[in-house]
Chain A
């Protein structure tokens, strides 16, 4: 008999209360219990970075956490990126579209959330900063070039926007 826990997790601003097996990973919780399949699972042992989410604002591999550990915490997935959840894209998503940074798209959600944290911590990154920052995200299309170009473009768009609408909170969207 599998042991369970009842947990309350805030995901993309919405509170969810669910009863889950204690061995369920956070990644499986997001995909299977909440239907948020934007978080992709590649290796399921912490190498590929596809399942990267923001946990209390910090990037983390959702396959290396238990859902039970997220009880009382705040999670952001790729579904929370676009403002208002409508047709508008976040500048990072737009830049990936403009520069063909998606390719097959499998690694994209993890890369977007990794970059969201990176650009928040470092609004003016160099190409090297981005390459090092993405070193924990594997793209099997092996086309990092367009990903890096898209990231640099997004950094510029976000920085311009920050300078015109700086409300002092440092928030990106």
Chain B
């Protein structure tokens, strides 16, 4: 028995969760358990209370509303993977999910767990940044929304108060004709990315870029949007040589050194993977209009 001693709570509705979060000290929320359970086994975390969200009603759904896909925090990654709605209207997420762990972990792992764990190289975190997701949270002072840009408060630290928890996230839809590309480099299939690039493009009838989103995960404590590249691409026609020029600037982004790769290698990957992701997005627009 490797986990430390804790008290276990399995509330049935959000109000009970808030009640527990308000009254208990040193509590951890348990979603899919694919990160927290290993952390408990290795005793990286020593909570006095574990609040299990798996029996809370109403936190698992995938639906469209007001030009966005709304997804409940406890929606399993497997359900995102097999959702026709996600595949058709939010294909970037569909492509990214294929890189998230393995079948066994996606069957349990949740969207909300991944977003709140906030691993800098997590694919779903990069997707939330790429799509400018809005997060819904509830707590002792009621409900509020947080733009994803404001969500990472630091390394693996979401900007949530102690009595708040994530209930869902809203991902704005791009036009039916947009292109997308998610590419990453990792040591083994299913590992966290060393660097991941997520690209979204819209082009006019003449093939000129009218809207662009480019996100890099794995470089620093949270995903970064490559705003300069996004601006530089507007009005351009996507082709390999021009992308090489534009993406070269990404070699100057701040990046971390760690046991997996030095900063310079991450910067190299940022440029290379961004170009590949943007090309993929462009090729998909072309394939759709042919």
A residues lining the B interface (CB < 8 Å): 2-3, 5, 21-25, 28, 44-47, 49, 52, 55, 58-61, 63-66, 68-69, 114, 117-118, 132-133, 135-136
Contacts and interface: CB of A to CB of B under 8 A. Distances in A.
B42 A45 contact: yes
A96 B99 CA distance: 28
Contacts of A52: 104
B238 to A, nearest CB: 30
B37 A68 contact: no
B5 interface: yes
Nearest to B76: A58
Contacts of A21: 1
A101 B52 CA distance: 38
A122 B166 CA distance: 34
Contact of A64 (B1, B4, B6, B37): B37
B76 to A, nearest CB: 9
A132 B189 contact: yes
A61 to B, nearest CB: 5
Given A2-B5, A45-B41, A60 B107 contact: yes
B58 interface: no
B6 A46 contact: no
Interface string B97-120: 000011111011000000000000
13 contacts: A2-B5, A3-B6, A21-B1, A23-B3, A23-B6, A23-B8, A46-B38, A46-B105, A52-B104, A59-B104, A64-B33, A65-B37, A135-B188
A118 B7 CA distance: 36
A22 B188 contact: no
A52 B101 CA distance: 14
Interface residues of B, number: 30
Contact of A25 (B3, B10, B104): B3
Interface of B: 1-8, 10, 33-34, 37-38, 40-42, 50, 52, 54, 78, 101-105, 107-108, 188-190
A117 B103 contact: yes
B26 to A, nearest CB: 15
Given A46-B34, A59-B103, A66-B3, 6 more contacts: A3-B8, A23-B3, A23-B40, A45-B2, A132-B189, A135-B190
A64 B108 CA distance: 9
A65 B8 CA distance: 13
Contact of A68 (B5, B8, B103, B105): B8
A44 B1 CA distance: 9
A118 B37 contact: no
B102 to A, nearest CB: 3
Contacts of B38: 45-47, 64
A61 B8 contact: no
Contact of B33 (A22, A59, A65): A65
Nearest to A62: B104
Contacts of B5: 2-3, 23
B108 A60 contact: yes
A49 B42 contact: no
B34 A133 contact: no
Contact of B103 (A3, A28, A133): A133
A49 B107 CA distance: 13
Contacts of A63: 37, 41
B190 A66 contact: no
Contacts of B6: 3, 22-23
Contacts of A65: 33, 37, 108
B34 to A, nearest CB: 6
A5 B52 CA distance: 14
Contacts of B50: 22
B189 A135 contact: yes
A136 B2 contact: no
A59 B41 contact: no
Contacts of B3: 23, 25, 66
Contacts of B107: 55, 58-60
Contacts of B2: 25, 44-45
A49 B3 CA distance: 18
